[in-house]
């Protein structure tokens, strides 16, 4: 996935987290723009005018909405042997959702999402 990649998100959103996992697994560098959902940015309203929801993935100026579609898009627009990243995203997502009580157990997952 070459060119400019921007993710509009809001940190507690599990939909946004799903996209962050896919980007991290594929090693894609991107700019993260945090949205205030009570005061949505002109960029969000322009990129997702119908639903006005995050996340929105913007690839070279083109918006992709709906987190599962984004994961599929990331999968299909990057080189990999089998384009199976969406299944791995689902596994990690479930792991994060089920392990949140012990912060230390999820530290590596949080680092992964932040690209550290």
- Residues forming contacts to ligand GSH in the complex (CB under 6 A) are 10, 13, 15, 37, 52-55, 66-67
Task: With residue 65 as reference, give the H or E element that holds it.
Answer: strand 62-65
The angle formed by the CA atoms of residues 70, 51 and 3, to the nearest 5 degrees, is: 35
Q: Rounded to an integer, what distance in angstroms lies between the CA atom of residue 95 and that of residue 88?
A: 11
| Min dist. Cβ of residue 27 to ligand GSH (A) | 22
Which residue is at the shortest CB distance from ligand GSH? Answer: 53
Shortest gap between Cβ of 44 and ligand GSH (angstroms)?
8
Distances (CA, A) of 37 to 7, 25, 31, 43, 61: 15, 27, 18, 12, 21
With respect to ligand GSH, which residue has the nearer C-beta, 52 or 83?
52
Give min distance, CB of 15 to ligand GSH, in A.
4
Task: Retrieve residue 2's tokens.
Answer: 């070459």
**Closer CB to ligand GSH, 100 or 107, in the complex:** 100
Residue in 81, 45, 82 with CA at minimum distance from that of residue 65: 45
For the bound state, the minimum distance from the C-beta of residue 35 to ligand GSH, rounded and expressed in Å, comes to 8
Q: Closer CB to ligand GSH, residue 46 or residue 105?
A: 46
């Amino acid at each position: 996935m070459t060119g400019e990649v921007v993710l509009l998100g809001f940190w507690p959103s599990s939909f946004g987290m799903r996209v962050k996992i896919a980007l991290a697994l594929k090693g894609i560098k991107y700019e993260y723009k945090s949205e205030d959902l009570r005061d949505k940015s002109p960029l969000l309203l322009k990129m997702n005018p119908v639903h006005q929801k995050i996340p929105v993935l913007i690839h070279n100026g083109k918006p992709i909405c709906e987190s599962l579609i984004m994961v599929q898009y990331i999968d299909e627009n990057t080189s990999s042997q089998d384009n199976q990243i969406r299944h791995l995203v689902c596994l990690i997502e479930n792991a994060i959702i089920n392990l949140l009580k012990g912060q230390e157990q999820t530290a590596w997952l949080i680092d992964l999402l932040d690209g550290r």
